[in-house]
Amino acid sequence: MKAIKIGLILFSILLLALPAFAQEATEEPEELGSAEDLETTEEEVAAAVEALGEDGFIAIIACTYSTEWHFTVADSAQTYAEELGLRVEAFDSEIDVEKQISAIENFTSSGADVIIICLFDPPSVQSALEEAAESGIKIIQYAGRQLADIGGVTISAEDEDMGRIAGEYAAQLINDELGGEANVAILDYPDIQNVVVRADNIRAAIEELAPDATIVGNYLGGTTEFGLASMETALVEHPEINVVVSINDAGALGAVQALENAEVEDAIVVGIDADSQAIELIKAGDSYYRGTVSTVPDVTGVMTINAAVKVLAGSEIPQNIAVPVSLVTAETLAEMED
């Protein structure tokens, strides 16, 4: 009897806790500015240098330096800032919340004027950033839009756009080359909410534009090893898979290896991020890799510094700014070379 009572209590607690597992809705930003809104003048740069004074600086807090995309954003921002004569300090959070919180606190106490930050767990660092904002530090977020609520400027490509463009291109190839019929695997990485949005939009675009294609399932990707292992097993169960669309290039590169290992003759792989290895394969033309979506990390880095200059100079800028997103294929690469 006692056991039943304890069981009922635990069951009630579980029921009460269920809402905590619900997915949070993503809020759409209202109006988006563009890279043109961030173009700076010499006067603004001079004003920014003056505003920093002798001790001030711009802090860049990266999510990680371990992926090409994140490394390029932080590195190009730092290089560009130094070219403009702005003092800058960069920090690698290594996808560690505690390290990121400490970095925000340290930069706040050491006199940063602007913090440019990439967030991977926004709620956990919100309070440290609010404290920084209250002490007068300007906050600029890239790769996300969560900081608009505390008055931060956000500079980000839209994950919806990335997923949709990758899905649309895959659907186009399915229609043009496979007669509209294909067996599609989507490589996902559900740990990051933004990435789930990409996968959802890949699926939606394929279902809409290539309705006769069969989406076999979502598989774990995100890293080359996960993409490789997932696709190896998926190909055992579904050897008919001939199209793979991935939420990033790292996972897609694993899928390419799995398809090669399984000696699949013809397949189509599309990724996102425009990693150099993916671009090499697309350019070579003899690989399954057919396209990727570029979110121009070097441009993103420059945009963050331009935003910092504008903010330091006291100029008006839109609060939410979109990073241009574009499809990279063998054709677009050939056009660029011409």
Minimum CB–partner distance for residue 277 and other proteins (Å): 4
Query: Is residue 58 within 8 Å of residue 88, measured between CB atoms?
Result: yes
106-110-112 Cα angle (round to 5)? 95
- 153, 317 in Cβ contact below 8 A? yes
| Inter-helix orientation angle 42-52/297-313, to 10° | 70
Nearer to other proteins, 127 or 261 (CB): 261
Q: How far is the CB of 51 from other proteins (least distance, A)?
A: 31
Least CB distance to other proteins at residue 270 (A): 17
Cα 175 to Cα 189: distance, rounded to the nearest angstrom: 27
> In the complex with other proteins, which residue's Cβ is closer, 1 or 18?
18
Closer CB to other proteins, 55 or 82, in the complex: 82
**Where does the chain have alpha helices with state H?**
2-17, 42-52, 68-84, 97-109, 122-134, 159-177, 193-209, 224-237, 249-261, 276-284, 297-313, 330-337
What would the two tokens of residue 173 be? Answer: 């190839």
Rounded to a whole number of angstroms, the minimum distance from the CB of residue 68 to other proteins is: 5
223 or 315: whose CB is closer to other proteins?
223
Q: Which residues pair with 291 in a beta bridge?
A: 270, 329
Chain contacts with other proteins (rule: CB under 8 A): 64-72, 75, 188, 190, 217-220, 223-226, 228-230, 232-234, 236-237, 250, 253-254, 257, 260-261, 275-277, 280
Strand partners, 58: 88, 114
Closer of 154 and 248 to other proteins (Cβ):
248
Write down the least CB distance from residue 315 to other proteins, Å: 32
The answer to whether 168 and 147 are in contact (CB under 8 A) is no
Nearer to other proteins, 257 or 315 (CB): 257
Minimum CB separation of residue 161 from other proteins in Å reads 23
